[in-house]
A = this chain, B = another copy of it.
Amino acid sequence: MALVVQKYGGSSVADAERIRRVAERIVETKKQGNDVVVVVSAMGDTTDELLDLANQVCPAPPPREMDMLLTAGERISNALVAMAIHSLGAQARSFTGSQAGVITTGIHGNAKIIDVTPGRLRDALDEGVIVLVAGFQGVSQDSKDVTTLGRGGSDTTAVALAAALKADVCEIYTDVDGIFTADPRIVPNAHHLDQVSFEEMLEMAACGAKVLMLRCVEYARRYNVPIRVRSSYSDNPGTLVIGSMEDIPVEDAILTGVAHDRSEAKVTVVGIPDVPGYAAKVFRAVADADINIDMVLQNISKVEDGKTDITFTCPRDNGPAAVQKLSSLQGEIGFTGVLYDDHIGKVSLVGAGMKSHPGVTAKFCETLASVGVNIDLISTSEIRISVLVKDTDLDKAVAALHEAFGLGGDKDAIVYAGTGR
**Residues A43-77 near B (CB distance < 8 A):** 50, 53-54, 56-62, 64-66, 68-69, 71-73, 75-76
A113: B residues at CB distance < 8 A? none
Q: Mark A117-159, 1 if CB is under 8 A from B, else 0.
A: 0001000000000000000000000001010000000000000
Whether the pair A72, B76 counts as a contact (CB closer than 8 A) is yes
Identify 13 residue pairs between A and B in the complex whose beta-carbon atoms are under 8 Å apart, listed by A's number: A53-B76, A54-B79, A54-B83, A57-B80, A58-B87, A61-B87, A62-B82, A62-B86, A66-B79, A66-B83, A69-B83, A72-B73, A75-B75
A96: B residues at CB distance < 8 A? 68, 146
Whether the pair A57, B94 counts as a contact (CB closer than 8 A) is no
Whether the pair B80, A53 counts as a contact (CB closer than 8 A) is yes
Name A73's closest neighbour in chain B (CB-CB). B72
A99: B residues at CB distance < 8 A? 144
Cα separation A302 to B207 with both chains bound (whole Å)? 91
A191 contacts chain B at the CB level, 8 A cutoff: no
* Chain B proximity of A222: nearest CB distance (Å): 30
Name A43's closest neighbour in chain B (CB-CB). B53
Cα separation A75 to B66 with both chains bound (whole Å)? 11
* Chain B proximity of A77: nearest CB distance (Å): 9
Whether the pair B16, A56 counts as a contact (CB closer than 8 A) is yes
A258 contacts chain B at the CB level, 8 A cutoff: no
A19 contacts chain B at the CB level, 8 A cutoff: yes
A62: B residues at CB distance < 8 A? 82-83, 86
Whether the pair A64, B93 counts as a contact (CB closer than 8 A) is yes
